[in-house]
Chains A and B, each alone.
Chain A
């Protein structure tokens, strides 16, 4: 730990960042595996609007924070999602060492399971870079396949006997077992089908909830978020009172569904309602740190100030989550306190790691642009005139670039202002209501007259058409 901190304090010059790093939780530290690399922050921060697509191949190299600790990250999750996430990281990060680390861990995880298809995929991707221990072990694969065949036959036989007996409970359990089997094999489509089939045989609310959770799990991996929302609402409709853990799980699932369908405000609300009882109970889908990150970012991008204060900053429940990811807590506080430069800096630091997250990566751009625009709008709100130089300094960007951004925002009518390009000042401009009203009234009058005249004419034409019907030839 000590060596870790020492390494940190040398390259970083910002005091705030140091405090944050020291308060780091277990998610982002860990005994250096030899694959962790520290990139110095450097003195100058890159232009925050530098398109991140180009930095995709060099995650962490663009003046951002430290590289992700793959092992610590992976330890947050269990089950299939762990493997999927590791494979995604391996695919997306540009760093060979990190890639190999991720692939190695994925390999170990897969070997504990029964999915031979994934196994083949991982071994092909590793190639022979990690030595003979990680090369394709065909014998293991064959053993597993044969075992799977046997189990499948057994399950099918059992199931047929249940069917002839016509006992609801055993049929339900039969379907469930088959679905679990398919899930372990990686046959997600079949697993989904079988889970859905158990629906007709559910007798108690507990069964229904179990079925819903299973379906949700498979749908998330299949990325069919319509089903996720449907089954969340089904589960919430059961007459029995859900226990808090179950509630939290469903909220998370709903939040994920909204996030993926780009409904950020609703997603934020769902994540913020998740209780801290979630703990580590849903690690086969989501970790509590993710709840904090997703919820915090979506809230920043879509809530206005009052909502942000009431639902996020003053939310005791959610602050438990925010403890796990202090950067997000800091950046929300900075935004609310109008320290835009440091807020945007935190965002940039988080970005490379967030790009490696399977659910968030394609929403990062949109969320970040939203947050940046909100920051700019909020900055200009209290002033009658703002000097563009000071504003550019506050946002760490150039005057020309800032002018372009402001122009776009003014055209979309999000800021009521005008730019004095000669003196580089932004003047607030409030529309003259009286003149605008007169203009609108006259315009409405003109349009009304025009439309009514045309309509009367057309009515007349139709009347003549109907009088002299089809014999007319124009």
Chain B
């Protein structure tokens, strides 16, 4: 206990300037084991410290405390402490010991899930993510935990603010998988199918040496979402890892069959396929998506009609889309008009539907703004791309590899790689 008291005194004393803090850091690292042994009794000491000033010390103590088991009554107290800590801690000090911070937050998340109140964990974790990130383009381990809590609490919109950031730096590939998978699921929940498709695509095509379960689940959802969105499943692009390319279809056979039946366009066959595989879809919790796939088949058939006809009777629409009667056809068309998927007017007197062109004329201010904004974004993106390319060209490893591969005896030609790098 004494060592802890001494430690606490150190913390209080050495938390003013960056040099002191680094000194404190090394002291703390040395006394880690001591702290852990006293894990359960650290609670009162925490109250002596101020999280905003003594962040680092507080963090170490907190981490040691949470590494021990926390009993039921203490749990809510623990939660409150962590929440307060996250809200008031200083980001620079956190950066010195990120793993500790992550482990604190993870135990926080576990507690929240155990207690069954994921909603409580959302705001604190959001704050935690923002403090841990060095830039908004960085992916931390906490991202996936945060998204998991959002999913469990069904607060999809909360996940959006994190999801909308573009991620370019990844520390641990495993985080990336979970993040993209959960991100895809949140987007599906919000019905933003294009973004969901992009997220799931990232999982499926990520570089990997062996297949993992996340990838398999993601691929199942990927098939369903691309059927809803585009009516077909695209083939693997050539940058997919060979492990995924070869093995994914084996693990997702019912979904591949579903895609094949969808392509045939026959409603009854698709329904039959769904019936036979129903338990599998249920166990993967994908049944809802599968039902959406089914209804999208009608929509696709009706959309095709807009390309060929100017007016068409409801009876003909019902025949083409394999619906039972004109009333159902009318209902579907009405729904699609409301959702903005087709442009048409229904003439009930004659039982006719007239299809129109997309009224967008691309002449409004709003459209011009949209185009301008896109151009700006794309220019920034391509600047980033060229800077990455420049950096890579200067990389010594790259240069040595290129240097080795080229002809060594062409002295007449311009020497693109200096000999120094060979």
Contact = CB atoms under 8 A, between A and B. Distances in A.
**Do these two chains really belong together in a complex?**
yes
Given A419-B309, A442-B374, A464-B171, 11 more contacts: A407-B309, A410-B307, A411-B307, A420-B309, A421-B309, A421-B311, A421-B352, A422-B311, A438-B362, A456-B388, A472-B173
B310 A458 contact: no
A262 to B, nearest CB: 26
Contacts of B360: 435
A445 B370 CA distance: 12
B362 A434 contact: yes
B382 A452 contact: yes
B310 A418 contact: yes
B77 interface: no
Closest 10 CB pairs of A and B: A438-B362, A422-B311, A418-B310, A420-B310, A410-B308, A421-B312, A422-B352, A445-B374, A420-B311, A419-B309
B352 A454 contact: no
A452 B311 CA distance: 42
Contacts of A418: 308-310, 355
A474 interface: yes
Given A421-B316, A459-B388, A460-B168, A454 B201 contact: yes
B385 interface: yes
B166 interface: yes
Interface string A444-456: 0110111011101
Interface string A420-441: 1111000100001011001001
A222 interface: no
Interface residues of B, number: 50
Nearest to B382: A452
A452 B381 contact: yes
A242 to B, nearest CB: 49
A457 B173 contact: no
Interface string A87-111: 0000000000000000000000000
Contacts of A446: 374
A232 to B, nearest CB: 39
B198 interface: yes
A143 interface: no
Interface in B195-244: 198, 201-202, 205-208, 210, 212, 239
Contact of A461 (B176, B367, B375): B176
Size class of A's contact patch?
Answer: 35 or more
Q: From DSSP, what is the main secondary structure of chain A's interface residues?
A: helix
A465 interface: yes
A435 B239 contact: no
A410 B309 CA distance: 9
B385 A456 contact: yes
B263 interface: no
Interface string B359-402: 01110000100110011011001101100100000000000000
Interface of A: 407, 410-411, 418-423, 427, 432, 434-435, 438, 441-442, 445-446, 448-450, 452-454, 456-462, 464-465, 472, 474
B236 to A, nearest CB: 14
B174 interface: yes
A453 B384 CA distance: 10
Nearest to B381: A452
Contacts of B309: 407, 418-421
B308 A462 contact: no
Interface in B267-286: none
17 contacts: A407-B308, A410-B307, A410-B308, A418-B308, A419-B312, A420-B310, A421-B311, A422-B350, A434-B362, A435-B362, A452-B382, A458-B239, A460-B170, A461-B207, A465-B207, A474-B177, A474-B208
Contacts of B311: 420-423
